[in-house]
Structure 1
C-alpha cells in the first residue's frame, strides 16, 4: 500500500509531483494528483513526490511531510563544501579514544539513507564502535594473515602482506588498520548488481559527514584485500552475512594529527565533449 494522500486545502495543483515521478505512477485527475492503479506496483519508494511538494500537501507511506527537514536556507555554503572536499586527508594516526556514540549514531542514520541503484536500499553498514571489539577484530585479522604467511598460502600478488604481518608481529606496527579505534564495512547481497557501487556511495557519504565533524577516516583497501582473501573468520566475526559481497572498508576515529591547508595535486583530467 502506497498510502498516498493529498491535503486538498494545501495542494496548489502545480503538478510537480506528477512531473517528477520517475516511473510515472501519478496522474492529475480533477486538478489533483492521484496514483495510477495500473502503475502503482512500479513505485520504488523514492519519495520524490514528498520532497518536491512545496506546500507539504502530499503524504506517502503514511509519512508526515512536516517530519522532513526543510531545505530552504539550510544548505551549506558552496565554498565551504569545496574546502571540505579538498581538505579531506587519509588519516593514519588516531587517538585511542572512542567517537561519541550519539554522534556516530547520528552520522550512520544519515548515511543509511544514501542513494542506491533502483532505490533497492540493501546496503549494510557494519560498524565496530567499541575499542575492545576493535582489538578482537584486529587480532583476528592479523592471526589469519600470519597463518596464511606461515603456510605459504598468500597469492603471488599479495607478497607485500608478508611485510605487513611481520611489522605487526615484531614491532607492533598496525598497517592494516592504522591503529584506528573504529571500523566500517559496507556490503550488500551478491544478487544486487549495483551493490558494490551502492556501498562505495554510502562510504563516501560517511567519510564526508564524519570529516565535517572532525573525525578522521582512511579508505582501507589493505584491510579489505587481506580480509576478503585470507581472513574469512574475521569477516564472520564482524557478522557480515555469507551472501553479501563486501563493497569497501574504512578505519576511522579521532585523529591524532591536524592538517592546516589543502594540497595541490597534479594528475587526473577532465574530458569535455564539445561536438
Structure 2
C-alpha cells in the first residue's frame, strides 16, 4: 500500500504532482490527485509528488510533508569552492569521528540517486580506529603470506612493497593511517550497481568535506580485499551477492590545504 493521501483543505488542484510523476500513475479525479489501486505497483517510490506539492497537501508511504526540509537553494560559489578544494587526504589524526557526525554523513550520502530508484546501496563502515587496525593486520598478514609464497598475481607484485613498508617501517599504504573505512556495495541484480555505489561515495565525500572530514578513494584496499585477501571481505560482512562498488578511507585530516589547485581546461567535445 502506498498510503497516498491528500489534504483536501490544502490541495489547490494545481496538478503538479500528476504532471511530474515519472511513472505517470497519478491522475486528477474530480479535481484531486489520486492513484488507482491497480497502478500502485508501478510507483517508483521517488517521492517527487511529496516534494513538488506547493501547499504540503500530499503524503505518501506514510511520510508527511512537514517532516521534510524546505528547499532553499545553495550558493553556487560556495558549492564550486567545495568541489575545487577537495583533496585526496593521506594524513589523518589518530582519532575517531564523533559517532553522531559519522552517522549523519552516512544518512545524507544515502540520499544519492540510484538507477530506477532501487535504493539498494549498502554502506559497510569501520567506525572505530581499533577495528580498522584489526582489519589492517588481517589484510597485511594475508598479503605477507602471498609474498612469501610468491603467489601474488601477475601485475600485482607491487603489493610486496606495501608489505615490506608495513613490516619494516610501520607505513600504512593501504589505509593511509585513516581511522575509518567505508565500502559501498549493492546487489548485482539491481539495474546499475556500480554507478549507484560510485555516486553514493561521491555524495559522501563532498558532504564529508563540508564537515571538515577528509577522504581518499581507496583502490588499493579494494584490490587487497576483493582479489588478494578475500577472507577480509567476509570479515567485513559484505553479502556474497553484492558487487563491491568501491572503498574510501576517511577521518579528520592531520593536514590542511591553503588554496585550490589549477587544473587545465576541461576536455569538452561539442556536437
| TM-score (ref. length: structure 2) | 0.97
Residue 137 of structure 1 corresponds to: 135
Contiguous gaps of at least 5 residues in structure 2: none
Q: What SS does the aligned partner of 1:145 have? A: helix
Q: How does 1:28-107 map to 2 (within 5 A)?
A: 28-72=28-72, 75-107=73-105
Q: Could you say what secondary structure the match of 2:38 adopts?
A: coil
Partner-residue secondary structure (3-state), 1:159: coil
1:1-275 matched pairs, under 5 angstroms: 1-72=1-72, 75-266=73-264, 268-273=266-271
Q: What is the CA RMSD across the aligned residues, in angstroms? A: 1.1
Q: Residue 14 of structure 1: SS of its match in structure 2?
A: coil
Take 1:263 and 1:30, find their aligned partners in 2: how far apart are those partners? Answer: 58
- State the alpha-carbon separation in 2 of the partners of residues 193 and 26 from structure 1: 24
Q: Post-superposition shift, 1:154?
A: 1.4
Give the distance between the partners of 1:152 and 1:193, measured in 2 at CA.
Answer: 39
Provide, for residues 218-267 of structure 1, a one-character-per-residue CA deviation record: whole Å limited to 9, x for no partner.
00011111111011111111111121111000000000000010001136
In the aligned structure 2, how far is the partner of 1:226 from the partner of 1:23?
Answer: 42
Instruction: Report how far residue 113 of structure 1 moved.
Output: 2.4
- Structure 1 stretches of 4+ moved >2 Å: 36-39
Q: Is the 8 A contact 2:129 2:178 kept in 1?
A: no
Provide the C-alpha distance between the structure 2 equivalents of 1:118 and 1:128, rounded to a whole number of angstroms: 29
Distance 2:199 2:142 in 1: 29
Shift of 1:270: 1.3
The alignment partner of 2:161 has SS state of helix
**More moved, 96-105 vs 187-196:** 187-196
Structure 2 residue matching 1:156: 3-state secondary structure: coil
What is the Cα deviation at residue 29 of structure 1? Answer: 1.0
Q: How many pairs are equivalent?
A: 271
Structure 1 residue ranges without an equivalent (≥5): none
Contact 2:116 2:191 in 1 (8 A): no
- Residue 12 of structure 1 and its aligned partner are, at CA, apart by 1.1
CA distance in 2, matches of 1:264, 1:6: 51
